[in-house]
């Protein structure tokens, strides 16, 4: 009996020293201690050799030992589960999951291209707030108090008296630059603008513009024509045909609109060019001397030209997009078509 008790003590120490070492060693432990021919079974078999008066005491010791051996087995199984969760079987040599690349919005593509083309002519980008005050959006730009653009029907007002509104053009950015900077000024102002329009295929309550301004000594109408001609050639190709038509804008005098030959139908006639073969793409003109004076720029010394274009319109001609609403519907079938455009 004494010998058996010493043996049990040794087994207890052995069990205490066992640590989790994978499923095979756990199974080996089970077979060794708890198997049909295992240590626990063998110890119980020794009962018959224990004197009767010691049987009760030995039985208790054996039961405690059996519980200890079983508890260890349960804890080894638990640690196996935890290790498997932390490090599941994975094949690191497999190729990774494919992450689909997003696309740039067509308006951003065209905006970036406009910035790039004018950048090569020395124009830098100026930006300003989308919520504007009356002075920068209207008054400083020769848009008098009774001008229709100021009407609540045409403009989103955020606050009246003082008037704060969503800018109706990016001309307000040029106004802010003229206020702060003396000539030479050579900027383009891309950005979102807002007008109170009913949404349809041809009109939206917001769209994007790029306006431009060049003020320096000896800036002429010939500079204006050549700059804009260079722009459309770069944007649409060397074969593009242009025509200038006289027009009117409050900020410029003289003013001209520029048409290019229709890129959609090649001149045969379509809805976009209204069967004329020509599409208007921008407005322009020599900066009105009164405007230069509004910003304390000497109109006897300096002249300038300005222009403005809708990015949606340029985009329509470049990518043949016939409905303005597509730009803001976030339809993935529309957007993913621009996947290969940079
Ligand atoms: C300052 C000086 C001059 C901005 C100009 C246009 C002509 C023009 C519109 C065409 C279609 C924009 O997208 S559109 O609605 N714009 O035709 N804009 S000259 O002239 C300025 C502006 C500010 C201080």
Per-residue pLDDT band for 241 (boundaries 50, 70, 90) equals very high
Atom of ligand 1 nearest to the CA of 310: 13
Atom of ligand 1 nearest to the CA of 285: 19
Q: How far is the CA of 322 from the centre of ligand 1 (A)?
A: 24
Tens digits of residue pLDDT in 91-100: 888 898 888 8
Tens digits of residue pLDDT in 36-80: 999 999 999 988 888 889 889 888 999 999 999 999 999 888 887
Is the pLDDT at 135 greater than 60? The verdict is yes
Q: How far is the CA of 338 from the centre of ligand 1 (A)?
A: 29
For the chain, the distance separating the N- and C-terminal CA atoms, rounded to the nearest angstrom, is 87
* C-alpha–C-alpha distance, residues 321 and 312, integer Å: 9
Q: Is any ligand 1 atom within 6 A of the Cβ of residue 210?
A: no
Average pLDDT of every residue of the chain: 92
Which of 50-54, 146-150, 327-331 is most confident? 327-331
Q: Is any ligand 1 atom within 6 A of the Cβ of residue 309?
A: yes
Atom of ligand 1 nearest to the CA of 209: 13
pLDDT of residue 82: 67
Q: Is any ligand 1 atom within 6 A of the Cβ of residue 287?
A: yes
Mutational test site, ligand 1, from 110, 249, 303, max ligand atoms within 8 Å of CB:
249
Question: Is the C-alpha dihedral spanning 264, 267, 269, 273 positive or negative?
Answer: positive
Class of residue 81 by CB neighbours under 10 A (exposed 0-12, middle 13-18, buried 19+): exposed
Q: Starting from the edge strand earliest in sequence, which strands make up the sheet with 157-159, in order? A: 131-133, 164-166, 157-159
| 196, 285 contact by CB (below 8 A) | no
Q: How far is the CA of 307 from the centre of ligand 1 (A)?
A: 5
Atom of ligand 1 nearest to the CA of 309: 13
Q: Which residue has the higher pLDDT, 101 or 211?
A: 211
Which residue's CA is minimally distant from atom 17 of ligand 1? 283
Q: How far is the CA of 141 from the centre of ligand 1 (A)?
A: 10
| 54, 46 contact by CB (below 8 A) | no
Which residue's CA is minimally distant from atom 13 of ligand 1? 310
Q: Is any ligand 1 atom within 6 A of the Cβ of residue 174?
A: yes
């Amino acid at each position: 009996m004494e010998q058996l008790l010493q043996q049990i003590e040794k087994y207890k120490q052995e069990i205490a020293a066992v640590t989790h070492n994978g499923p095979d060693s756990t199974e080996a432990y089970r077979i060794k201690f708890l198997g049909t021919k295992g240590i626990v079974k063998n110890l119980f078999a020794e009962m018959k050799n224990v004197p009767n008066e010691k049987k009760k005491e030995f039985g208790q010791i054996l039961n405690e030992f059996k519980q200890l051996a079983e508890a260890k087995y349960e804890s080894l199984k638990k640690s196996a589960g935890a290790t498997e969760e932390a490090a599941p079987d994975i094949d690191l040599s497999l190729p990774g999951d494919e992450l689909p690349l997003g696309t740039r919005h067509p308006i951003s593509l065209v905006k970036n291209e406009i910035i790039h083309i004018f950048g090569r002519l020395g124009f830098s980008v100026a930006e300003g707030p989308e919520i504007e005050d009356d002075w920068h959006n209207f008054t400083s730009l020769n848009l008098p108090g009774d001008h229709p653009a100021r009407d609540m029907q045409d403009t989103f007002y955020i606050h009246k008296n003082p008037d704060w509104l969503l800018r109706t053009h990016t001309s307000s950015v040029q106004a802010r630059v003229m206020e702060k900077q003396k000539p030479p000024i050579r900027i383009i102002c891309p950005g979102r603008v807002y007008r109170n329009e009913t949404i349809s295929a041809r009109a939206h309550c917001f769209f994007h513009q790029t306006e431009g301004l060049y003020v320096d000594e000896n800036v002429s109408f010939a500079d204006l024509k050549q700059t804009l001609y260079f722009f459309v050639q770069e944007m649409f190709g060397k074969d593009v045909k242009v025509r200038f038509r006289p027009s009117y804008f409050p900020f410029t005098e003289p003013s001209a609109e520029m048409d290019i030959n229709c890129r959609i139908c090649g001149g045969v006639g379509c809805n976009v060019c209204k069967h004329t073969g020509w599409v208007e793409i921008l407005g322009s003109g020599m900066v009105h001397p009164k405007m230069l004076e509004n910003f304390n720029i000497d109109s006897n010394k300096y002249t300038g030209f300005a222009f403005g274009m809708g990015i949606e319109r340029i985009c329509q001609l470049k990518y043949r997009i016939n409905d303005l609403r597509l730009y803001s519907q976030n339809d993935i079938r529309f957007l993913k078509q621009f996947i290969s455009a940079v």
